Structure 1
Amino acid sequence: MPPARLDDMLEVQTEITSMRGTSLVFTQRIVNAENTVLNEAEVLIVCVDPLLMKPRALPKSIVAEFKQ
């Protein structure tokens, strides 16, 4: 992958690639003005009960927002 340079115009593209009961996976890409992919990452986010420190269901409000 080519490097980004100072003053390059960059775009960060983010999409949800998976949504399960307790987690979301985002795929993120950084592209330059020529739409060349400079970096790509998958980000796993898990909803955790703060007292039990165990996975719990994603809040319905968050699921509804992402399904729009």
Structure 2
Amino acid sequence: MTQGRLEGSTFIFPIRIYYEDTDAGEIVYYANYFKFAERARTEFLRHFGIKQSELLENDRIAFAVRKAEADYRKPARLDDLLEVHTELVKLGGASLEMEQQLKRGEETLVSVKVRVACIHLEGRPMPIPQNIRKIFKEMLGENHGS
């Protein structure tokens, strides 16, 4: 069973802010937003039946972050309940691009853009497997991606 829900083309994953996520001022440490975004991307894949552990074991491939950038607008604080909104925006031959919004209610605290590459465990780029590509193409619609 996966956490999170799909609303239209956006996957929404809840995150509670715990003491371990914060600094001495009870504000989330900036690097932790990337951890929250990673968890949401993992659950996004799991929601569509894509298990990274099976890709590693059966196909010796993984999805690795190639590029990530964050725009920090407002801090999250201890005990906040956030939602990470994840949307696939581009599908390449061996990569995908996602945009993520970390929100408290309707307010966007942090925006994350990430490019993820499909790689063989030896480190070389690999085409995204056709069964996964089909899921992503359906998500984007016929006029998007490659």
Q: What's the TM-score bracket when you normalise by the shorter of the two chains?
A: 0.7 to 0.9
Identity of aligned residues (%): 35
- Corresponding residue pairs, total: 66
Higher helix share: 2
Structure 2 counterpart of 1:62, from 107, 126, 132: 132
Return 5+ residue gaps in structure 1 as ranges. none
SS at match of 1:56: coil
SS at match of 1:54: coil
Q: Partner amino acid for 1:58? A: I
- Using structure 2 for the length normalisation, give the TM-score: 0.42
Asked whether 1:17 is paired with 2:86, we answer no
Please list every run of at least 4 consecutive aligned residues from structure 1 whose deviation after the TM superposition is greater than 2 angstroms: none
SS at match of 1:48: strand
SS at match of 1:10: strand
Structure 1 counterpart of 2:116, from 31, 45, 57: 45
Deviation of 1:8 after TM superposition, in Å, equals 1.8
- Using structure 1 for the length normalisation, give the TM-score: 0.81
CA offsets per residue over residues 1-39 of structure 1, 9 Å max, x none? 121122222110000111111101111110111x11101
SS at match of 1:55: coil
Return 5+ residue gaps in structure 2 as ranges. 1-72, 139-146
Deviation of 1:57 after TM superposition, in Å, equals 0.9
Deviation of 1:55 after TM superposition, in Å, equals 1.5
